[in-house]
Structure 1
């Protein structure tokens, strides 16, 4: 089946649009052929090592989407629009941008032809000398990456586009000067549409009336494993029908585009209505796919005739060529029909559009419609044959159209509109970013938030402190109270960019003040609670509004949606120059429900905070099933787990400073784990003041040292260095504790001291910074230098006198300082300290599922209690003492 548009056919144009669709189809044919050449070169590079995995490139998937992309790139797309493509069609997307001259270098300058050609030859190639390359799927490093979404994870990018759309609505409703009205085009496969992330997000788009969102389902009735064979009787129709019903049920406009213009014209002829009925009602998707795959017009004629005797006369009057043009004229391969749907979508500003476009996987290839064609590659002879039909060169493929052709004349005009418009927009965004960075230099960022309530809260927990900070920033941004203190005045300069969101856990994660009368949204009806005097004055007012005083976005129990929204708002500075900082609260255990979305956010360097609270087995009585705490260690995110409330102040203040000043490269995001277990706050300063190193220092001087160490990942809360009878290698052990288990480590240290054992206690605030990837890059400097942890072997004489002979050397006692770590989470969070410095280390952690009970019961169950810590420390000291000290005879 070949359907390239020949140059010698009679050209047509639609007067309403002034477009020559024959020209557009020929440009599409060229773009698709360029994509095939890219893929061919990627799979036939010289010097390929034996055993290397296949390169691939998905030419058949590109084929089914080629006219959809053509309608977007050649007609519909405005400079400010966004695009999310299914991953497999990225080569074709690059090919269209090649023809549109829409490639830019790292400095943002438009590439010349020679550089564009290099990029096209470098699909899935590693750039060794800085030459332009394309990743396997869409990535920000691609030369044409302006406003499209990284697409390696199916089911996620369209949802991020959805929430970027919401971000624009939020920005405009809050008075930000964005002279843009973008449309968000998202192409996905029909099998991809079974991804739960997509269906979970659909009602949000409908409810929030995101009319600039267009989702296109490339309905080719195949997936990776072959033809999709569904029970249409059980579904009440085809999967396309089911998808459309789903869209309508969730507040979308659903459009099923099954037939192209050639079919529609045929349907108007005598007998044509019966052909339409047969195609729509008598042929299932499975049968349709079999007919497409057969590429046998005789068979197609016979099958259609058997379906209805009324069709016999109509079919008899059609030549094979005419029948083929009608049968293969699927709506998703008709640019004119697609453009009409997209233009109609713009007439509905309050309803998102869901388009199901019938297509053929492998369209125009020999393997079109074949069940196993997902990874099929056209042979070189097919490429050469195609190039001859198109008048191009297989040996030198990456060229523009000749300047005298109608295609090039169209592209010249389109480039001026689209590519030059994009360059103008990029300059505007860069100017907005530059203006912000100048503005933010005037902010003298405080190191904390001066939370007055902490002074009157002897026992507090980290989730409470989160609520205090969030509420204060909200008051400064949206409240009526004026900033009185210098601390408030500085935070007030940036507070309006701070926003909160939660998947139905806002009130249970101490975020109620940010919610109370400040939910962003429009319910489309009156506030009946207010009208009928039925407001619950003991709970936050959750009726949403669209005005500037709103700063919280409420979600149903849909963690994935909330995470995608956080990631989308967190990219707003990158996209627009507006430095939104979204902070979402979520029960820590349920981060796993949004793990794919979390990874996607971090992969594309989104700036946001995830407040995972409450977390771990410290949940105890409430959630035995919800207690497993995972060690994520994903790049571009710092995980924190503070113990004392003051630590959380320091952590958030520092991260907000980094965000607003853009000093957050490769650490744009934070995961902060909190608990609802209260801790005696005065113990922080009381313990610190007992250390020899702080003698003579003021409280503020001590706390400043601890703040700096907190922000590096850990600090010493108990440090016995300088105490009498303190002998490393003999009676000293290091305890590393994190979060809610710090009090247990303190009690264990006190217990051990009664036995003459000096147990230093180090509070780990961030395992990532102290022990993870961040620490790896600076060779664990803070652990080794800042905290002074080493693997030194200490030698002690049994008799305290000068060593004078060989026998006395051999009688020396040797030992190192062992380590015991204790944390509420899986072992990997802290279990590598000993291996880093070279000493014995036992990690007390959560190694099994939990139960309900008091925290004391549960800590004991998991051996995280003070008694278990002390016993383990004694055991480790004993093992360390048994280390054999061998002196090489040559040194005696």
Structure 2
């Protein structure tokens, strides 16, 4: 084991450690965490018969690690992510520290109670990071550390931070998200990051078949991490120093994981035989003869992850010059009857087993929630640590106002992707109080997604200013100034990292009291690749704006590999997020400014914008010139959509509904129908998501000043057949038929395409103007 000098500026007060008191606290934590799961499954009435579940074994393996942290090593400014299946341990610790009321201990996985996995927005006790998506929550402290560095470089009044810690199950290291995060070049400089890996060598269904520690160590070291391995406790380490001790060590370390786990299940009298094996050395035989059966059974369980004294020394000795990972060997189900069983992941102790465990710990099944007496050594430790870990309440700052910029209608055709770049650049001049809170992120696609103008003005954020060796190159359009005050963060090509960082930037308002407006830009076809961590970030309370561009088959030359058929539905179905797909530059500006006002506030929302690279004639928007009608158009746009045609909907023979880049085709089809004497009303949707909500709730919205946008666009007194057109899957807009019971025909993309020109792509998928006209004629 390598111990490094501690060099953190602020740590918990230096006090004499009562190791025996900590061991008794660990026993109590193990009991309470086990009892929390037991009550939820065995004691609480369950009329449905559906298993409640919990993870007694996964919790038991983490007890000593978490006790060493919470009852000694943690500082109040540390932020810590707990592995999902150890949530009962966190609840037990919060309870002993007075941070969780006793009434919640009986509510695991119950409505309004303790969540199945740690949740920073739903659990009643202190939880720093939501976990549950295996591997995603583990990486969250990395992005939180990066967020704090960003905030500190922009605001010297930022609250201090200490360590950002992840408690990780070894099976989580199978997840690709972990290695995507560790591989980003920025991460190797985050010395405040600490991971502790619970190396219990079991996953959900099995004992992990190979000894992988050497491979894992080398992978972390190759990525610039300090690695510390706690394999054996101090007691067995002393035995290794005796005559024959080296033979014992070699025997234990050469065992497969399966053989070791099976030995844990053996009776104490059988352990000796299993250790001797087929042809034991005389040294090993002599050593074991001097050790009793019970001592031998304890020795093989003396792993580093359960040795409190060793854990304390390790946590006290970790430096901060680079990130550190501690591999702590543990036993899954430690000190429980299901200890080491290959199928113990979801196993629950029986009533008899719980009774035996209660007697072992001097507890009672009838009254399982006993705290320590205040005057006891353990009670004194709990009280002291509760004081030391208590944090001040973070008060969110003033929300962002919803600003309105001077109306600027581009004279030339422009895409919504280009309009985003122009908007961001304009904000630095027109609304600097908003612009200073914007932080853009991209996975190495900033220039190809039109962020160049913004980056030239705002700069690229770096923890340390770096020289731009191309600053004097006259052929360079994009200025890549890496400065501490930059507002663009460029990651490697890993969409998972992008949205994970967005989630943590989006929690700055609630974690640090400093709201940001995080805007992440990625290629829309890869939204589905980033879906799980994006959803995780929103669930954890991180407000952000995700921009997917370019989208659909409109990027025709790129072919089928880069089309995004399902992303409109992904946006529409994502909770706590509004999906937008504006067609025109003014719509994009209105909707984006509205979305910005909804991040970083209590009850706020994230947003997803689906944009295009197709330049569109902005005159097609028919923007009203009269102030009152212009404001009405804006309110309708941010409510979900508006009618471009201005005639009475009662005169419509049918209604054409378009979204985003396909509005030119929709309007062209309306003109062709008009020439044939068929009057079509044209609706331009900016957010099918908001329109669906309007239809579902049929209630007034602030954005439309008491009006129902669904009824405004599709009034009940004017029923007409509907043709919808979308550069995405056609079922996205199929719900429109339910607003007033109209017949409907939905056009969109349902198959993989191929490289082609734009007209050929639209014709191939039946979303060109001629196809729209044909669908309309067939319908009426």
TM range (shorter): over 0.9
Q: Distance in 1 between matches of 2:152 and 2:426?
A: 24
Quick one: which of 64, 72, 75 aligns to 2:72?
A: 75
Deviations 1:564-602 (A, max 9, x none): 000110011011110111101001110111110111122
Deviations 1:138-182 (A, max 9, x none): 123555543421222111112221101101111112234123223
SS at match of 2:448: helix
1:714 aligned residue (636, 641, 652): 641
Verify the 8 A CA contact 1:208 1:521 in the aligned structure 2. no
Which residue of the partner structure matches residue 624 of structure 1?
A: 560
1:48 aligned residue (38, 46, 49): 46
User: Is the Cα contact below 8 Å between 2:119 and 2:130 reproduced in 1?
Assistant: yes
Contact 1:97 1:144 in 2 (8 A): no
Provide the residue aligned with 1:747 in structure 2. 668
For residues 191-230 of structure 1, what are the structure 2 equivalents within 5 Å?
Answer: 191-204=171-184, 207-230=187-210
Displacement after TM superposition at 1:536 (Å): 7.2
Q: 2: distance between equivalents of 1:246 and 1:734?
A: 59
Whether 2:368 is the aligned partner of 1:379: answer no
Matches within 5 A, 1:409-488: 409-418=380-389, 421-422=390-391, 425-426=392-393, 429-430=394-395, 433-434=396-397, 436=398, 445-448=402-405, 454-455=409-410, 457-473=411-427, 476=428, 483=429, 488=430
- The answer to whether the Cα contact below 8 Å between 1:278 and 1:307 also exists between their aligned partners in 2 is no
Structure-2 change in CA distance of 1:308 and 1:142 (3 Å): farther
Once the two structures are overlaid, the 10-residue window that deviates more, 312-321 or 203-212, is 203-212
Match in the other structure for 1:820: 723
Residue 681 in 1 paired to residue 623 in 2? no
What aligned pairs does 1:866-881 form with structure 2 within 5 A after superposition? 866-877=769-780
Deviation digits for residues 217-248 of structure 1 (CA, Å, limit 9, x no counterpart) = 11111111121113xxxxxxx21221111111
Partners of 1:81 and 1:589 in 2: CA distance: 37
Matched with 1:120 is: 105
TM-score (norm 2): 0.92
Residue 72 of structure 1, CA deviation: 1.4
- Secondary structure at the aligned position of 1:842 is classed as strand
Q: What CA RMSD, in Å, does the superposition of the two structures yield over aligned residues?
A: 2.4
Moved more, 838-847 or 389-398: 389-398
Q: Distance in 2 between matches of 1:203 and 1:45?
A: 46
CA distance 1:66–1:449, shift in 2 (3 Å): farther
- Correspondence 1:558 to 2:494: yes
What residue is the counterpart of 1:85 in the other structure? 82
**Once the two structures are superposed, what CA deviation does each residue of 1:65-86 show, in whole Å capped at 9, x if it has no partner?**
1111111111122222212112
- Per the alignment, residue 292 of structure 2 pairs with 319
SS of the equivalent of 1:57 reads coil
Structure 1 residue 761: Cα displacement: 0.5
> Where does residue 336 of structure 1 map in the other structure?
309
- 1:369-408 matched pairs, under 5 angstroms: 369-408=340-379
Bigger CA radius of gyration: 1
Unmatched segments (≥5 aa) in structure 2: 1-12, 701-706
**CA distance 1:290–1:847, shift in 2 (3 Å):** same
**1:58 matched to which residue of 2?**
55
1:833 positional shift: 0.5
Question: Are 1:648 and 2:588 counterparts?
Answer: yes
Deviation digits for residues 274-297 of structure 1, max 9, x if unmatched? 4334433x2232322222233545
**Pairwise CA distance, 1:847:** 1.2
| Matching of residue 760 in structure 1 with residue 681 in structure 2 | yes
Aligned to 1:838: 741
Matched, 1:355 2:318: no
| Displacement of 1:204 | 2.6
**Partners of 1:374 and 1:774 in 2: how far apart?**
44
Q: Deviations over 1:429-477 (max 9, x none)?
A: 22xx25x35xx6xx6x4323655xx54x41111000111122334xx3x
Which residue does the alignment assign to 1:786? Answer: 712
- Give, in whole Å, the separation in 2 of the partners of 1:210 and 1:304: 46
Q: Are 1:720 and 1:758, in contact at CA under 8 Å, matched by a contact in 2?
A: no
Alpha-carbon separation, structure 1, partners of 2:259 and 2:448: 53
1:293 maps to what in 2?
265
8 Å contact kept, 2:21–2:377? yes
Cα distance in 2 for residues equivalent to 1:778 and 1:164: 39
CA deviation string 1:67-122 (max 9, x = no partner): 1111111112222221211211111110111111012xxxxxxxxxxxx2211111
| Equivalent residue, structure 1, for 2:241 | 268
Q: Contact 1:566–1:608 at 8 Å: present in 2 too? A: yes
In 2, the alpha carbon distance for the partners of 1:446 and 1:838 equals: 38
Q: Distance in 1 between matches of 2:186 and 2:612?
A: 35
Q: Whole-Å Cα distance in 2 between the matches of residues 183 and 308 of structure 1?
A: 47
Counterpart CA distance in 1 for 2:464 and 2:184 is 12
- Residue 169 of structure 1: aligned partner: 149
Alignment partner of 2:117: what SS? coil
Match of 1:23 in 2: 21
Choose from 636, 656, 668 the match for 2:605. 668
TM-score by length of structure 1 reads 0.81
| Aligned length in residues | 756
SS, match of residue 446 in structure 1: coil
Contact 1:206 1:252 in 2 (8 A): no
**Contact 2:188 2:223 survives alignment (8 Å):** no
Q: CA 1:239 to 1:380, structure 2 compared with 1: closer, same or farther past 3 Å? A: same
Shift of 1:379: 1.4
2:4 is matched with none
Structure 2 vs 1, CA of residues 302 and 42 (structure 1 numbering), >3 Å: closer, same or farther? Answer: closer
CA separation in 2, counterparts of 1:413 and 1:365? 29
1:33 to 31, 34, 47: 31
Query: How much does 1:387 deviate?
Result: 1.7
Aligned partner of residue 227 in structure 1, secondary structure? coil
In the alignment, which residue of structure 1 is the partner of 2:9? none
Higher normalized contact order (CA 8 Å, seq sep 6+, divided by chain length): 2
Query: What is the CA-CA distance between 1:184 and the residue it aligns to?
Result: 1.7
* TM superposition shift of 1:540: 2.5
Report the equivalent of 2:129.
Answer: 149
Q: Which runs of 5+ in 1 are unaligned?
A: 1-14, 104-115, 128-132, 231-237, 477-482, 690-697, 795-815, 878-892
Q: What is aligned with 1:6?
A: none
> 1:313, CA displacement in angstroms?
2.4
* Cα distance in 1, alignment partners of residues 33 and 69 from structure 2: 17
Distance 1:446 1:252, change over 3 A: same
How far, CA to CA, are the matches of 1:777 and 1:651 in structure 2?
Answer: 21
Q: 1:520 aligns with which of 461, 466, 469?
A: 461
Per-residue CA shift, 1:36-83, capped at 9, x if unaligned? Answer: 111111112454225x32011110111111111111111122222212
CA contact (8 A) 2:503 2:542 kept: yes
* Divergent runs of 4+, >6 A: none
Distance 1:137 1:613, change over 3 A: same
Q: Is it true that 1:593 corresponds to 2:590 in the alignment? A: no
Deviation at 1:307, TM superposition (A): 5.1
Compared with structure 1, are the counterparts of its residues 589 and 147 closer, same or farther at alpha carbon in structure 2 (3 Å cutoff)? Answer: same
Alpha-carbon distance between aligned partners in 2 of 1:22 and 1:142, rounded to the nearest angstrom: 35
